[in-house]
A = this chain, B = another copy of it.
Amino acid sequence: VLWPRVLDVNDRALRHVITGLGGLAHGRPRETRFDITATSEIMAVLSLARDLPDLKRRLAAITVGRTVTGERVTAEQIGIVGALAALLRDALDPNLLQTSEHTPVLVHTGPFANISHGNGSVIADLVSLKLAPYTLTEAGFAADLGLEKLIHLKRPALGVDPAVAVLVCTVRALKYHSGMFPVAPTRALDPTLSAENLDAIRAGAVNLRKHIENIHRFGLPVVVAINQFATDTQRELQLVRELALEHGAERAEVSSSWADGSAGALDLARAVVTTAEASRGRVQPVVRADRPIEDSIRAIATQIYGAADVAFTSAAEKQLQMLHQEGLGRLPVCMSKTPLSFSDDPSAVGCPEGFTLTVKELRPYTGAGYITALCGDISTMPGLPRAAAAYNIDVDSDGCITGLV
């Protein structure tokens, strides 16, 4: 059985579990894992389905395991497609929410871009494309993850090419990518990141440059959106804007919508519209369709991430051979990788080069229509940080929740 249970909590103790203990009445002992819901293949299927029949077709194609003789078993073969579809029937309709300024927004499906394909649903985009003059869709995490998957995994299902890419950056992130600050995933940010530091921005801009280059490689114009923080100085914001343009962005604008609402994003919005109008709107994929898995991974790793080489662990090598034998060897690939670096090493900030990307596992997501490649030490079940935010949260005597920020 390959199919894991999923839960929507961060629980590192569920990454490696044994279930079914206690005797035959309680199932059979099995080594398995819980994944976070955001990496579930069902979440991916829901995101990529164009309609109910497509949803059922994709659910039917999900690989749930292999027989003892190694043959793939699908959800259809074990007869659960109808029940799955019934549970998802209402979830397939996009959720219409409103912003704090009462403009409509569709929030629909949440596959993480580090451990899934990282894009909102195809159906929500199709609805928006019908109803609105401009459709903005989020491709999460960094562009090496979210955008790459928009192009290679979502675009074929959507059937529409984007006209422009909006690349969001912050002063703080560029400083972080300078490598001058000690930062770890589970540690609070260094307070000195808030002090003005033009040198750090200049050093960290190699990360921005690499993203701009990557987006151009896909044939898309780039608008850099500089997401302003309260601690940013004007000189810092100005420098980022200059560096963005210098490194090839078509346009770059500061957005203060966090403080000023839509008024703060007007310049940015105009830049996006202008760029979109001028765009020829033709995407150029980096990975061609119908390529062997290992070639697709190599193309993404070397051309997008900047890796020198790709290594497969012994286990991944065997999975690769099995996938080829099963006729799944030319499915597209969904990379699972830390979003903190272009490489598979979360501490390699900036624009690392010459590294080897290690693929440790290949999982067939045949319902979603791709092979998931887990790189480095990535886990599909996050853990809580050392000091969990929950410790600060309370409800006061008026029933108001405190400690959320």
Contacts and interface: CB of A to CB of B under 8 A. Distances in A.
Interface stretch (A24-32, A145-153, A276-284): A24-32
Interface string A371-405: 00000110000010000001111110101011100
A373 to B, nearest CB: 15
Interface in A78-95: 79-83, 85-86, 89
A184 to B, nearest CB: 13
Interface in A17-42: 17-23, 25-31
Counted per complex, copies of this chain come to 4
A15 interface: yes
A157 interface: no
A202 to B, nearest CB: 32
A235 interface: no
A15 to B, nearest CB: 5
A254 to B, nearest CB: 35
Contact of A13 (B20, B83, B313, B377): B20
A52 B395 contact: yes
A16 interface: yes
A377 B80 contact: no
Interface in A86-134: 86, 89
A229 B59 CA distance: 38
Contacts of A401: 86, 89
Given A390-B83, A395-B82, A399-B89, A26 B13 contact: yes
A80 B81 CA distance: 39
Nearest to A53: B397
B21 A31 contact: yes
Interface string A66-87: 0000000000000111110110
Interface of A: 5, 7, 11-23, 25-31, 52-53, 56, 79-83, 85-86, 89, 311, 313-314, 356, 358, 360, 376-377, 383, 390-395, 397, 399, 401-403
Given A12-B27, A29-B29, A80-B391, 13 more contacts: A13-B27, A13-B28, A16-B20, A17-B17, A28-B29, A79-B391, A82-B391, A82-B395, A82-B402, A83-B390, A86-B401, A89-B399, A89-B401
27 contacts: A7-B7, A12-B25, A12-B26, A13-B19, A15-B22, A16-B20, A17-B17, A17-B20, A17-B21, A18-B21, A21-B31, A25-B383, A53-B397, A56-B395, A79-B391, A82-B390, A82-B391, A82-B392, A82-B393, A82-B394, A83-B390, A83-B391, A86-B394, A86-B395, A311-B311, A314-B360, A314-B377
